[in-house]
Amino acid sequence: MAEKKFELTNLATGKKSLAEVKSGTLGPDVLSIGNLAKEHGMFTFDPGFMATASCESKITFIDGDNGVLLYRGYPIEQLAEKSNFLEVSYLLINGELPTTEQLAEFTHAIQYHTMINESLLRFFNGFQYNAHPMAMLSGVVASMAAFYHDSMDINNPRHREIFAHRIIAKIPTIAAAAYKHALGQPFMYPRNDLDYCANLLHMFFAVPCEQYNIDPVQAQALDLLFILHADHEQNASTSTVRLSGSTGTNPYAAISSGISALWGPAHGGANEAVLAMLEQIGTVENVPKFLAKAKDKNDNFKLMGFGHRVYKNFDPRATIIRAMAHKVLAKLGKSDNPLFELALKLEEIALKDEYFVERKLYPNVDFYSGIIYSAIGIPQSMFTVMFAIARTVGWVAHWQEMIADPTMKISRPRQLYTGPANRKYVEIEKR
């Protein structure tokens, strides 16, 4: 097969150069344009990175036009049906599904790293009771660099593995501590006899004065949500982790930067925004009025949870999570939940409306995830924290892949400068 190349021509000068085409396993080819600056003195311009591949990765593949999401080549539908979160975590980090022995070792490593240093736990006392949990999560995760700085050589594969186990194990403990701090309740220590999601529910909702019984359906729902949110290619927070990590910074600091990026309502905060939107709509009778507002370019109202930057026809995760939402609400006796009924009606009407159909504004994963979290008893302020717990696995996988790449370079995007040209300083008394 002949090597594929593009010939780029400066029409003003006639100068030409060749750009190599790189092909992946799946998806569009990419054009390597690294020689443009050297040969033509020019950069490319792509705001929002709409058509720019920032790296080469073997972890996750998305085909937005056909609604495909693959983790290491495995369809998300198969993993959601047959796997569990820790097995998926092993897959994302190591590249292959584990054997029984490998999964047992990995699970043990996670379960027995869940405790956090008592000094770290006291950090929470420095936060106001009403501090946003994402601010606490980001700050405390960043502070972990101070606890493990002397045992973290990013060029040592074993150190990278230990880091992966530690952060995946401890992030639920830190999240639960943030939740308990906001409530003013005693912190509940993790239990090594519980699986990942059951342990999270225990740390969130148990109190010392009485027995807490974990609902297996709730634990199953969390496990499914964590699988669906574990990774999503080069999204804003993952790209932030890679950008930060490319400097060689402590990986806990890199993960903290990802948490901060995830916080935004256009990214990880979207499911929180969906619930706020449903509460704003209020009743089924108000749906037509708010859909009309969503169509009005002069109205600030936005239909949250519909459409996706990547998926152009449907979000494969939304189909999976919708069924789980029904299951959770039925089990908890909340099948008549007004917000859930409102969500179903909004979905039904919007999917029949030509305006939304033409623009392919279908329900995405955030549309139902907030409903499930709410039914379990997790407050809206914690929704993005739950997302961060799941996405930590993807961040770790991408950070490890990048650090292990011998060709890694520090990320340094360029810009199109449109500010003032060179000008002389004017003394203050002359301005």
Active site residues: 308, 366
Q: At what angle do helices 383-404 and 133-147 cross, to 10 degrees?
A: 40
Closest CA to 110 of 380, 386, 389, 355: 389
The two three-digit tokens of residue 141, written as one number: 């995760």
Question: What angle is formed at CA 281 by the lines to CA 280 and CA 284, rounded to 5 degrees?
Answer: 150
Closest CA to 9 of 24, 22, 19: 19
Question: What angle is formed at CA 30 by the lines to CA 24 and CA 34, rounded to 5 degrees?
Answer: 125
Closest CA to 275 of 371, 358, 167, 204: 371
Closest CA to 305 of 350, 262, 263: 350
DSSP annotation of 59:
S
Closest CA to 207 of 180, 173, 181, 182: 180
The two three-digit tokens of residue 83, written as one number: 């796997």
Helix (H, G, I), strand (E, B) or coil at 63: strand
DSSP annotation of 58:
S
| Helical residues (DSSP H) of 184-215, grouped into ranges | 196-205
For residues 320 and 378, the answer to whether their CB atoms sit within 8 Å is: no
The two three-digit tokens of residue 222, written as one number: 């969390």
The two three-digit tokens of residue 202, written as one number: 């225990």
**C-alpha neighbours within 13 Å on the C-beta side of residue 163:** 31
The two three-digit tokens of residue 226, written as one number: 């964590």
